[in-house]
Amino acid sequence: MIRRRTMLSCTAAVAIAPWWSAGWATTGRDALKSRADAVLHDHVSSGRVPGVVAALTDPTDTIYAGAQGTIGLGETAPISLDTVMAVFSMTKPLTSTAALQLVERGKLKLDEPAAKYLPQLSAVQVLEGYDASGAPRLRSPRRPVTLRHLLTHTSGFTYDIWDANLNRYYTEQNIPRLATRRKAALNVPIAFDPGDRWQYGIGIDWVGLLVEAASGQALGDYLERHLTGPLGMSSTGFQPSPEMRARLSKMHTRDNDGKLSVMAFAQQQNSEFEPGGSGLYSTAADYLKFLRMILNRGRAGGQQIVKPETVDLMSRNAIGPLRVGQLHTAIPFLSRNAEFFPDTPKTWSLAFMINESKAPTGRSAGSMAWAGLANTYFWIDPAKRIAGLAMMQLFPFVDPQALGVFLEFEKSAYMSI
């Protein structure tokens, strides 16, 4: 985790002139371009990151787009808004939206046992630790897992990246890891009784299986028909097309000395399931379309993708008094200890992290956000009616230099408004 404790560790329009109108259209945009371009250039020219794409949008259109660097160290092709990247957990909001579409249609319910659709969930057990002999201590949960639990990361399902007990369980029980895209990777115990606390995990992968069970379609097919297709996200999918592969970024890793290098990376192609929590490839240009749809309360291109009331649910606390806390790494190669804005209270909606007070970057209270493991980040600010992202391809997650690009870009946006 970054040692300094700084920024890591109402959606209806109002009847006043929006901030981006009138003089801002020239003065503010010029200031934004100057500041944001400088942030991206500084981080790339200094070698802190190999390449970065960043953009800011309002409900109508992109108001800033910038890119610096190449698709990889040693490459000459420039990175751009159309560069294809593995977005990892930026998959989750799309899968969550798909599930909520099915809730709207009565095909899923938030608070009934998810085992109604996925019987294997009725056998899930709680891992309380290990006994003196090293055997796992397991027991039955006190309540069943529901779709609401899965969407809000209160189900008890965790990630081995940030759960040492689960990491040990995968290893000692010889269970395939999630990256293999084998269904057996999901058949692991939960860390606590559903609803007892928040801890980030594989719950949205189970949500993807719920979408498949309720819709009768593969998750990728459902998304293409009901979400990414209607939004025009033609460069988003679980398996990159040959045309997308021609625009694919390299993946990088930073060693303990701070040196970046290109690493071999390819998500498993012969998959037993499409991971709704982490499996998509996309581009900055595509993902902006999803962000704009949320800003417009579910509407895009003359279509109502999700109901305004559903977007309202996605925009507010869904975990009550529980709070989002720090993720303690168990696999430092993949992630540092991670917490966004440590001194800012954070909750979780049915799709996003919510900062409950104003963030140090200027992000309004009640804004929505999340990120992907390879340092892709976004936020949505309903109060200011803007959304932004910064996308890179390198490990570990919340790498100080990569995170710095995102936070400085975001701050430059609010300084310009």
250 is catalytic: no
Q: Is the peptide bond before 396 cis (omega within 30 degrees of 0)?
A: yes
- Cα separation of 131 and 211, whole Å? 37
Amino acid at 171: T
Q: Residues 9, 89, 278, 335: which is the catalytic one?
A: 89
Which two tokens mark 145? 């897992």
Q: How far apart are CA 85 and CA 392, in angstroms?
A: 8
Q: What order do you get walking across the sheet with 353-355 strand by strand?
A: 62-69, 51-57, 386-391, 376-381, 367-372, 353-355, 346-348
Residue 120: which residues within 8 A CB-CB, separation 6 or more? 187
Catalytic residue among 64, 92, 222, 335: 92
CB of 413 closer than 8 Å to CB of 125? no
Q: From the candidates 64, 117, 169, 200, which is the catalytic residue?
A: 200
Amino acid sitting at position 293:
M
367 in catalytic set: no
Q: Please, where are the H alpha helices in 105-160? A: 147-152
Alpha-carbon gap, residue 377 to 399, rounded angstroms: 12
Active site residue 107: no
Gyration radius of the chain over CA positions: 21
Enumerate the active-site residues. 89, 92, 200
